Structure 1
Amino acid sequence: MNRRISLLALIGLAGVATYVAAQRTAPTPIVRQAPAPPPANLTPEELANIRVYEAANRSVVHITTSTVQYDPTFGLPIEGEGAGSGAILDRQGHIITNQHVIDGAREIKVALTNDRMYDATLVGEDAEYDIAVLKIDPKGEELTPLPLGRSDNLRVGQKAYALGNPFGLDHTLTCGVVSSLNRSLPSRVKGAIMDGMVQTDAAMNPGNSGGPLLNTSAEMIGMCVAIRSSVGQNSGVGFAIPIDRIRRFVPELIENGKIVRAYHGIVVLEESSRGLRIAKLSKNGPAERAGLRAFRVLEHRRREGPIVYRVKELDKDYADYILAIDGQAVSTHPEFLERMDGYQPGDRVVFTVLRDGQQVRVPVTLGAA
């Protein structure tokens, strides 16, 4: 499967349309009647859709933010607003959403399905993976956490549901399928890759960011993050962060406020037919200390008549070509990033490299970034 895709635009789904008239300002909850039983003539598929919506709806929240930016010419403050979605993690009030939904926000508010509005605080965030954890004080409110499923057993073709607040239209359900797996997208952090993404044709639009992608058991299997579009609206190609990644990093965000990444010290790689050639290493970093080799600079003197020049040349032949990481073959930069993503600081990783025509195994103990 070709994991590289051409994107006209990768658009974060946070946002709200200007025609949304009603703002959630009243703290008094609206009393809602229990839903009437579904009509008897519904198809099994329709009944399944209804069950998913009714099971998950109370666990999905509407997030609104206010920001202040400053005019670059006169330095005057310019207020802005944003919106997105989120999912309730636990009864203590932790909520997960996309980092780009709350990025730069000076105020964050969360609205539940009963229209109660809460102030939210930022607990932890990571821009590279586009994950953030918020917290509200439920003040006696009985919160309904959203069950978390798995993403390692997803299959192309299985049903998928996106539940969120597109264009500020809260608690909107759209249906589709898992269209593909293990897609790679450019991260909002320059040079980083978001790999392992779930592709779906369940409609997503601005405002869906941070909302759940669900399976037929109303379990969260991903977090809606981006669409492929040239106009900023749904084109049938949406992407979600796999829930296994979220499950892995959320405890760290709650405990530390950030994700501590493993540091290998390999700065620049060049793709070639022979492997990933190491162009640059961090000085005294884990890879250099372990003996991996990158391009080196050779210096010699050259005489022209009475003048002696100091000449520097880049010796590329000295560099190692990475062939595998812990026995798993790698041939592209995204594959390298994906392999290294699974390690923690302190892990020992064995790089198989091609050096002077011979395969060499070099163990590297990872540091912390």
Structure 2
Amino acid sequence: MRPISSPPPGSDPFVRRLTALTLVIITLMLLWWSLPLIESLFTPKVGGVRTVTARGDLAADERATIELFEKSRDSVVFITTARLVQDIWTRNVFAVPRGTGSGFIWDDAGHVVTNFHVIEGASEATIKLADGRDYKAALVGVSPAHDIAVLRIGVGFKRPPPVPIGTSHDLKVGQKVFAIGNPFGLDWTLTTGIVSALDRSLTSESGATPIQHLIQTDAAINPGNSGGPLLDSAGRLIGINTAIYSPSGASVGIGFAVPVDTIMRVVPQIISQGRYIRPTLGIEVDERLNERITAMLEIEGVVVLRVTPGSAADKAGLKGATLTPDGGIIPKDVIVAVQGKQVDSASKLLALIDDYNVGDTVQLTIVRDGQKQEIGVVLQPGA
């Protein structure tokens, strides 16, 4: 018998077909990867010149935004502040840069409105106009309670236009707003957004009485925007950008602006008198003590602790609390509303009174001996 021998390697038809198919696949893959190179070898070298595609007309809202910025830009200023420091060895005085901010032209007399915290602690301020001119600014006056300051520059010719004035009492959540300022020193920057909320309150940087009636917006506001104008879609001033709510100090879509109705009440007084004189009732209240007493009485309002003799409140017949020999307090009058608006804290009472002017008569709703009654008080100037 003839011995049976093994088939030579590669003689199996299945193995041959599999090997051939693998080679075809590899060849096709190499060809596919090489196509761009092959194509480039046969493509004429024309320098990569492209034809510009026609833009067409801008959208109507784009044209409106561009026009608003171009009209408003010249009314916005760039503020840099410095603090004078004396060298303890040489006794030489030199200026140390302190910070930057924004502001806007208020009138033709050269008054510039900005935030109080922009110039707080500074010894001097320089204002740069949109056309590049620089001026040393003089301080006219401030109102820390509203975070408002007024400066003045002497512009002899080509005076920049004052920003048009709008209103804030009729603002609606959802309205478009536009902020122009100098964030991080990047001058004349425009950001847009909407009114996110109204009548917000925010504790000032000094930690004093909270600033009331603020406009909340999602327009990007960053350090350097402070003091700049917040405008409506007609280009009118509706607020001063004053603060952002952010742990990092950068915009997170929550910014605040002092409303123009407050500005219109405060700024003219600062210009004419050098300061803002708050209207008052002539009473003493205490926020922390008030919380404890009203909780004990189970009532929302403000306890009148003391009435200043001869004050507007005294003339109107308001009664203060009585102190007992053991240091206790027996409340008499509790203010629960001003002109029909509910009062639930001392800061709210101050804010509501501040909406009026010295000499105005406001109607107070008080609770005395468990009974509600109305008392009219003529507001007097504060200290």
TM-score normalized with structure 2 length: 0.76
- Matched residue, 1:63: 79
- Matched residue, 1:328: 341
Larger Rg: 2
Unpaired runs of 5+ residues, structure 1, are 1-37, 300-311
Indicate yes or no: 2:340 matched with 1:315: no
Identity across the alignment (%): 41
Q: How does 1:183-262 map to 2 (within 5 A)?
A: 183-188=200-205, 190-262=207-279
The correspondence for 1:45, drawn from 52, 61, 73, is 61
Higher helix share: 2
The answer on whether the counterparts of 2:118 and 2:226 sit within 8 Å (CA) in structure 1 is yes
The answer on whether the counterparts of 2:307 and 2:318 sit within 8 Å (CA) in structure 1 is no
Provide the rounded CA distance (Å) in 2 between the counterparts of 1:151 and 1:327: 21
State the secondary structure of the residue aligned to 2:156.
coil
2:328 is matched by which residue type in structure 1?
L
The correspondence for 1:359, drawn from 360, 365, 372, is 372
Q: How does 1:177-188 map to 2 (within 5 A)?
A: 177-188=194-205
The answer on whether the counterparts of 1:265 and 1:287 sit within 8 Å (CA) in structure 2 is yes
The answer on whether the counterparts of 1:279 and 1:319 sit within 8 Å (CA) in structure 2 is yes
2:323 is matched by which residue type in structure 1?
V
Q: How many residues are treated as equivalent by the alignment? A: 317
Unpaired runs of 5+ residues, structure 2, are 1-53
2:162 is matched by which residue type in structure 1?
P
Distance 1:314 1:132, change over 3 A: same
State the secondary structure of the residue aligned to 1:154.
coil
- Matched residue, 1:108: 125
2:321 is matched by which residue type in structure 1?
F
State the secondary structure of the residue aligned to 2:367.
strand
TM-score normalized with structure 1 length: 0.79
Provide the rounded CA distance (Å) in 1 between the counterparts of 2:175 and 2:364: 37
Distance 1:240 1:365, change over 3 A: same
Structure with more relative contact order (C-alpha pairs < 8 Å, separation 6 or more): 1
Provide the rounded CA distance (Å) in 2 between the counterparts of 1:39 and 1:333: 58
Higher strand share: 1
Q: How does 1:45-194 map to 2 (within 5 A)?
A: 45-68=61-84, 79-188=96-205, 190-194=207-211
The answer on whether the counterparts of 1:281 and 1:287 sit within 8 Å (CA) in structure 2 is no
Provide the rounded CA distance (Å) in 2 between the counterparts of 1:348 and 1:358: 22
State the secondary structure of the residue aligned to 1:145.
coil
The answer on whether the counterparts of 1:127 and 1:188 sit within 8 Å (CA) in structure 2 is no
- Calculate the aligned-residue CA RMSD, in Å: 2.5
Provide the rounded CA distance (Å) in 2 between the counterparts of 1:262 and 1:246: 15
